[in-house]
Amino acid sequence: MLIKPLVLLASGILSLASLAQTINESHELLWEISGNGLDSKSYLFGSLHSNDRRLFNLTDSTYFALNEAELIVLETDVFSMFSTLDTRVSSIDLNYDSEGKPYGSSSESSETIYGDEDGMPQFLDAYFEQYCFNADKQFFPLESVEFQLSVFSDIKTPSLENFSFRHFLTSKNDMVDLYLEGDIYRLDEMLKGSLSMYAGGYQELIIDRNLGMAQKLDSLMQNSDSKVFCAVGAGHLAGPQGLINLLRGQGYSVRKVVASFSENKTKFEQEFKSVKSYNYRNDELQLNVIFPGKPQVVTDDWNDADLNLIYRDLGQGNTYEVEVYYMEENHDLKSLAQTYIASPEESPMRIVKFDDGSEAYEGIGDAYSEGIYWVRIMKSENYFVILKCTGGNKFINSNRSQSFFNKVWID
């Protein structure tokens, strides 16, 4: 007679264990926006422009808000910079083993302007944009890339009059630690101190931009029926003229969402992380490519390719590129490979054979401005395709280039 109650008790304990959570009452990165005529709730999230893996342990409510959102709003469209922004800080050198296989001369993690190769592929904002396109959601940038570049270029030379060693010695790690605590008010104070050496720096980089972003976000929510998830730098949230107060001044109810971290993945986290790739297809070319995220179609005058697609892991500094060239007359694949793969003598290009009987050539190239990169050449009857991958030390030493190459095919 005791068996059934014991089974029920055991199942209850298991259910509680699966829902075990850690609550952080002081964590203040996610805010719910309601009222002022909105039909549904929207969310404001404070991000940090870094690919430090610790930042990506999002709260349960953040995964819920991202899943619910129909429109993802960020400071700017970072993907639009794929054709011009290489985030690697240093180049790499290659050595070759006795079989001619290349390997990086260093196994150290290469640095980028958003972190290094040990971090996530994308920095946090780009991670949200990657999810947005992969999940087929709408996207809206609050600022143009050109506007952001102009703001930063207008910042004047640091003034020794306002110089403070305490603020100068503030490290990136200090900022990350405050961010992980979710302390947006101390982050705001840190920003004020760090920017105090620039005349008008805090006003121009934070307050003036807050006013513009609040106005854009208000207009967007009022004129769209979509549920919004807006992520901006956490330094824009707090303070008398932070986005939280500005939105309240516009008539919205803005409340903190208490941070909970479940021991096991919630349904919303699982759904969010299941969206891992972007399938690109060109019906005219019968070309299929599986990218980590949505690529940029490059139309620069200097590139004479008939189609040029590029995708970058901005956090780790990796690049995935596809170039397509029409052929007026049929060319031999080997001769094309000899032209476009400038393999060094120590590591000659090799032929790759596929199950369907088709072939490709693969090797190492070195060109401005990519530097050293892996390259594969394949062709159809009317055009040929050049695939390129490059990155830091760990990327070059891995099989990630070949893994990407194998996700490109012609029907």
CB 6 within 8 A of CB 38: no
Model pTM?
A: 0.89
Pairwise CA distance, residues 57 & 22, whole Å = 12
- Per residue in 20-62, pLDDT (tens digit) is 788 988 899 999 999 999 999 999 999 999 999 999 999 999 9
Residue with tokens 């956490």: 234
Packing angle of the helix pair 172-181, 184-195 (nearest 10 deg): 160
pLDDT band at 167 (very low <50, low <70, confident <90, very high): very low
Residue 297 has pLDDT above 60, yes or no: yes
Pairwise CA distance, residues 154 & 245, whole Å = 27
Percent of the chain with pLDDT over 90: 67
Rounded to an integer, the average pLDDT of 67-73 is 97
pLDDT band at 170 (very low <50, low <70, confident <90, very high): low
pLDDT band at 226 (very low <50, low <70, confident <90, very high): very high
| Predicted local distance difference test score (pLDDT) of residue 15 | 40
Residue 19 has pLDDT above 60, yes or no: no
Residue 188 has pLDDT above 90, yes or no: yes
Burial of 8 (0-12, 13-18, 19+ CB in 10 A): exposed
| Predicted local distance difference test score (pLDDT) of residue 5 | 42
Distance (Å) of CA 76 to CA 16, 95, 141, 231, 313:
41, 39, 4, 10, 16
Rounded to an integer, the average pLDDT of 280-294 is 96
Residue 390 has pLDDT above 70, yes or no: yes
Residue 8 has pLDDT above 60, yes or no: no
Structural domains in the chain, sorted by start:
15-271 (no CATH), 278-410 (3.40.1000.10)
Residue 11 has pLDDT above 60, yes or no: no
Rounded to an integer, the average pLDDT of 140-146 is 96
Cβ atoms < 10 Å from Cβ of 207: 16
Do you find a cis peptide bond into 34, omega within 30 degrees of 0?
no
81 or 17: which leads in pLDDT: 81
Residue 155 has pLDDT above 50, yes or no: yes
Strand order in the sheet with 287-291: 278-282, 287-291, 408-410
Residue 9 has pLDDT above 70, yes or no: no
Which residue in 360, 369, 361, 359 sits closest to 390, CA to CA? Answer: 369
pLDDT band at 7 (very low <50, low <70, confident <90, very high): very low
pLDDT band at 161 (very low <50, low <70, confident <90, very high): low
Pairwise CA distance, residues 97 & 395, whole Å = 17
- Per residue in 193-217, pLDDT (tens digit) is 888 878 888 999 999 999 999 999 9
Segment holding 210, helix H or strand E: helix 208-222
Rounded to an integer, the average pLDDT of 157-182 is 67
Range name among 59-63, 146-150, 154-158, 357-361 with the lowest pLDDT average:
154-158
| Predicted local distance difference test score (pLDDT) of residue 169 | 42
pLDDT band at 139 (very low <50, low <70, confident <90, very high): very high
Rounded to an integer, the average pLDDT of 89-111 is 79
pLDDT, mean over the chain: 88
